[in-house]
Structure 1
Amino acid sequence: MKSLCFAFYLILQCIFGKGEGAQWCYAVEECSGCIGPRDWQTLDGSKCGGPAQSPINVVTGNLKYNSQLKPFTFVGYDKAYNYTMTNNGHSAFIDLSRTSMSIKDGGLSGTYNIVQLHFHWGSEMSEGSEHSINGERFPMELHIVHNSSGGHLAVLGFFYEENTSNNTKYDGIINGLNMITSKGSIANVTNLRLVDLIPESRELELYYRYNGSLTTPNCDEIVTWTLFPNTIKLSKGQLEAFYKNLNFTVNDKMEENFRPVQKLNGRIVQTSDAISVLSQTVTLIIPVLLSLLFFTS
């Protein structure tokens, strides 16, 4: 009987528990009285109901080739720095703003200076990437955020894939997760090179590009997104370390900290890969040509 009463209480909390001044949160936290993704547009100053929101589902059959999407130039990504990693209540967050790292080229206009990186992940029951490709989501997604002098953002998105062995280049971050269980806690990550966290340079020549928004409130539509489909490999234990170590609150595990995919609303997703677009076009044309040959013979 007590369990039924408690379940009923949770339902009431989900329906009526969002008082004035409630903070935003992810869907798994909604019953604690905060405002989940489906209602983010109700927050003060929110742009979360806009027409160009992120994340999205990338349909590779609809990609448009853009010859201007050349390889990026990563400035300073190969330098080792000491960082602080923080549990900011929503993710594992690393402030990079005091470094001299930046990106340019890659179809961007000018240089974008690095600001921060953070992760989005799932749980034992759910994949955790924010973006998806052809409806497929990944265990985790890394966002590296850069800004321009004009206030526009360029965010690089990387997907993770489960591997049989540990990725030793992630040891510093994985070990640090044990120290940032609670919101506001900080861990030192020393002698870390950003180039070691992402795929090799040749794998970064293939990417997808679209215009969108921040994936957390206020969801400002000021982001040029670049998504790299070549994945980063981590072991099952390394992936689990994110959602098993960190907490949203004292009692709530930090699981499934992702926003659901948003409508494309007519936006075009571009690609740096001419060959894949050509092959998709040929695949679509061949059945049409065969049917014409059949009916004219």
Structure 2
Amino acid sequence: TSQLCAVSNCSEPRQWKQLFAECGKDSQSPINIVTSKVKMDWNLKPFTFEGYEKQTAKWVLENDGHSVKVTLQESAKITDGSLNSKYKATQFHFHWGSHGNWGSSPGSEHSIDGERYAMEVSEQSKFKVIGMGWQVNCILGVQMFSFQVGRKNTNYKPLIDQLQYIKAKGKKVQMEPLALKSLIPHEKNLTRYYRYAGSLTTPGCNEAVVWTVFEEPIELGQQQVQAFPTTVFFSTNLSLPMMDNFRPIQPLGNRTVYKSSAGAILPPAKALLVITIAYLMVTLFQ
């Protein structure tokens, strides 16, 4: 997903629609959320997280050639937030910008009022959403958290420390599991969020996703953020640092962005380097 094509067989985001027709459709992600144009949806309730307090089975941390992916070996569930059943977390992955002698650049996929955020967490799941005057049947849902550069976050240290073992594409390492609860904001701060219908941000860009964009940011230290673009590589021979592995903003078109009833607007983050974490969720059949 890098915007920088340094190899001959790379197809940057503007070329995706030539290879995958859905990437050129009208409900693509990510988007810029204009807070003055969002609509209140009183049906968007707070979320409930289960199994986020403790994990016991080891996680698998992997460089898959376009991101850093963490595969969970144990059940963690999410419900409410206008979801009609429980959903199981299976993996999450990161997106970030660039860092070098010239400075740093942001890497968030979504923006709010044109401002890029310091980090995102997105939980993908199968569910049906019914909001104010709208209904979306979707395959996946994505819960996204923003991150900002600030104080060092000790909760993320064990994960970031493992990056040195997955520098090359295809490398994997097992790590002790962390409490998922410690990686996201406190539950009481997760009542403010935006909701819209969109797509996956990687090919084939399936328009079967409902996005939930949380307002409460997560802090990481500057060095922690910089560890991603300076440690991990797109290549197996460590010749191409993994930077800017995100998709650019897509047109909103005729879509509407909704916000929860507790959706107070926070000031935009000013951090430069941005990371996105995507949590892959699959439906838990009961």
1:104-123 aligned at under 5 Å gives the runs: 104-123=79-98
Separation (CA, whole Å) in 1 of partners of 2:229 and 2:262: 38
What SS class does the counterpart of residue 182 from structure 2 fall into? helix
Quote how far apart the aligned CAs of 1:110 are.
2.1
Point out the structure with max Rg over C-alpha: 1
Separation (CA, whole Å) in 2 of partners of 1:270 and 1:217: 26
Q: Which residue of 2 aligns with 1:127?
A: 106
What SS class does the counterpart of residue 98 from structure 2 fall into? coil
Quote how far apart the aligned CAs of 1:139 are.
3.1
CA-based RMSD of the aligned residues comes to: 1.9
Separation (CA, whole Å) in 2 of partners of 1:123 and 1:161: 15
Structure (1 or 2) with the greater helix fraction: 1
Please, which runs of 5 or more residues in structure 1 have no aligned partner?
A: 1-24, 278-297
Separation (CA, whole Å) in 2 of partners of 1:180 and 1:248: 11
Quote how far apart the aligned CAs of 1:102 are.
1.7
Query: Aligned in 2, Cα 1:271/1:255: closer, same or farther, shift over 3 Å?
Result: same
- Would you say the 8 A contact 2:165–2:172 is kept in 1? yes
The superposition leaves residues 219-273 of structure 1 with CA deviations (integer Å, 9 ceiling, x where unpaired) of 0011111111211100000000111110001211000111001000111111113
Q: Which residue of 2 aligns with 1:157?
A: 144
Structure 1 counterpart of 2:250, from 249, 257, 262:
262
1:39 aligns with 2:15: yes
Between 1:189-198 and 1:230-239, the stretch displaced more is: 189-198
What SS class does the counterpart of residue 29 from structure 1 fall into? coil
Structure (1 or 2) with the greater strand fraction: 2
Separation (CA, whole Å) in 2 of partners of 1:95 and 1:102: 15
The structure showing larger relative contact order (alpha-carbon pairs under 8 Å, at least 6 residues apart) is 2
1:185-200 aligned at under 5 Å gives the runs: 185-200=171-186
Number of equivalences: 250
Q: Which residue of 2 aligns with 1:70?
A: 45
TM-score (norm. length: structure 1):
0.79
Q: Which residue of 2 aligns with 1:253?
A: 241
Structure 2 counterpart of 1:178, from 151, 160, 164:
164
Q: Which residue of 2 aligns with 1:91?
A: 67
Query: Aligned in 2, Cα 1:274/1:142: closer, same or farther, shift over 3 Å?
Result: closer
Percentage identity across aligned positions?
A: 42
TM-score (norm. length: structure 2):
0.82
Separation (CA, whole Å) in 2 of partners of 1:131 and 1:122: 13
Between 1:226-235 and 1:149-158, the stretch displaced more is: 149-158
Quote how far apart the aligned CAs of 1:108 are.
1.8
What SS class does the counterpart of residue 241 from structure 1 fall into? helix
The superposition leaves residues 22-71 of structure 1 with CA deviations (integer Å, 9 ceiling, x where unpaired) of xxx4211255431000010111x441011110000001111111111110
Structure 1 counterpart of 2:32, from 11, 34, 57:
57
What SS class does the counterpart of residue 128 from structure 1 fall into? coil
Separation (CA, whole Å) in 1 of partners of 2:55 and 2:88: 17
Quote how far apart the aligned CAs of 1:173 are.
0.9
Separation (CA, whole Å) in 2 of partners of 1:112 and 1:33: 37
What SS class does the counterpart of residue 206 from structure 2 fall into? coil
